[in-house]
Amino acid sequence: MKSVLLIGLGRFGKFIAMKLHSMGHQIMAVDANEDRVNSVLPYVTNAQIGDSTNEAFLSSLGISNYDACIVAIGDDFQNSLETAYLLKELGAKKVIARASREIQEKFLLHNGADEVVYPEKQLASWTAIRCSSEHILEYIELDDEYAIFELEAPMEWVGKTIVQLDIRKRFGINVLGIRENGRLNMSITPDTMLCRGASLLVLGHEKAVHKCFRI
């Protein structure tokens, strides 16, 4: 369990709070808008209404005590930039900030942020990949070349084992898991057989995955 300071409680910040809550982490939530703060109360350990660009206010939160600080401000980049800078100045162990444009990402990384998330860019990548084939069920980009896919098993693979398919040797693709009847099995062996309706969780070069699954 980690202790997280979450600043900015718009839609993006609220979704982060909900996910962290489901994972069992402790969350201190902050926003200048009282309604936003009230909306996340069921999902956070504590919450305060305040201005994150005010150094005295941030200092009162005990910044160095948190395992991570997330700046999820989306409607005012200047505030986001100032907040990231102050957090690092006040001893934040890790600052993760949101950007909506590449130039913002560069400024944040040069002014306190340790990592930058780019939800619009990531969503655009997922949407493009998802629209390219109805057989792609999930997609996680790891870098410019490699990704994790969840794909429906081709009909001609049904009844065959992992070793018979041999896609690691043929395409350099690793099978991480198989989902059947809504349950994900990560204990894969060479003798694991694919059943009708199964999907595969695979890791590999995007071009290799496209070729292997004929996307």
Q: What CATH code is carried by the domain that includes residue 105?
A: 3.40.50.720
pLDDT in tens, 180-199: 888 998 998 999 999 888 99
Distance CA 51, CA 5 (A): 14
SS (H, E, C) 145-181: CEEEEEEECCHHHCCCEHHHHCHHHHHCCEEEEEEEC
Length of the chain: 215
Number of domains in the chain: 2
The residue type found at 198 is A
User: Which residues, 6 or more positions from 207, have their beta carbon under 8 angstroms from its beta carbon?
Assistant: none
Full-prediction pTM beyond 0.85?
Answer: no
Do 35 and 110 lie in a common domain?
yes
pLDDT confidence of residue 108: 93
Number of helices and strands (H, E) in the chain?
9, 11
CB 181 within 8 A of CB 136: no
Point out the domain boundary residue: 55, 87, 117: 117
Q: Which two tokens stand for residue 118?
A: 């780019």
User: Which residues, 6 or more positions from 42, have their beta carbon under 8 angstroms from its beta carbon?
Assistant: none
Point out the domain boundary residue: 83, 99, 117: 117
CATH number at residue 165: 3.30.70.1450
pLDDT in tens, 64-112: 999 999 999 988 999 999 999 999 999 999 999 999 888 898 999 999 9
pLDDT confidence of residue 47: 97
Mean pLDDT of 143-171: 89
Point out the domain boundary residue: 67, 91, 117: 117
Q: How many Å is the Cα radius of gyration of the chain?
A: 21
Mean pLDDT of the chain: 90
Do 39 and 113 lie in a common domain?
yes
CB 27 within 8 A of CB 20: yes
Distance CA 87, CA 97 (A): 11
Do 21 and 103 lie in a common domain?
yes
Show the domain range for 191. Answer: 122-212
CB 115 within 8 A of CB 102: no
pLDDT category at 133 given cuts 50, 70, 90 is: low
pLDDT in tens, 17-28: 999 999 999 999
Do 97 and 135 lie in a common domain?
no
